[in-house]
Amino acid sequence: MERAEFESLVADALDGIPAEFAPYLHNVAVVIEDEPAPGLLRDLGLDTQRHTLYGVYQGVPLHSRPHDFAGHLPDHITIFAGPLLRRYRTPAELRRQVQTTVIHEIAHFFGLDDAHIRRLGY
């Protein structure tokens, strides 16, 4: 798959976010990288030989911000193309997983932990 096609999948997933959540995401940067860095995997407690990462949220979750939270860099969601492209072979599988990954990382922005997000199906 060409990079532009993958970027389009991520854009479609972002476009699918319900309108009531969109205003909160104005200061969240979403980027696509090829692979997660080994150091990032280690920092997250993942075995670099056995695990990979489809996406990661980095920032201060919305519910943890003080009332005077201002002047900070944007929160950052990174989607990793390489692991997704290797694991999901059909366009339908890949599209579904990209949507799931984007929603999963946005859920972290809203303060949900992995267990809660998994219970919701993401």
Question: pLDDT (tens digit, 9 = 90+) per residue, 31-78?
Answer: 999 999 999 999 989 988 888 899 999 887 776 676 766 667 688 999
Edge-to-edge strand list for the sheet holding 28-33: 28-33, 75-80, 55-58
- Helix/strand/coil for 117: helix
pTM of the model: 0.87
Four-residue CA torsion sign, 54, 11, 93, 99: positive
pLDDT digits (tens, 9 = 90+) for 5-41: 999 999 999 999 888 888 888 889 999 999 999 999 9
**CB under 8 Å to 98, separation ≥6 — which residues?**
6, 9, 10, 13, 79, 84
- Helix/strand/coil for 31: strand
Specify whether domain 3-119 bears CATH 3.40.50.10320: no
Q: Which helix (H) or strand (E) holds 40?
A: helix 38-43
* Whole-number pLDDT of residue 113: 87
The structural domains of the chain, with segments of one domain joined by +, span 3-119
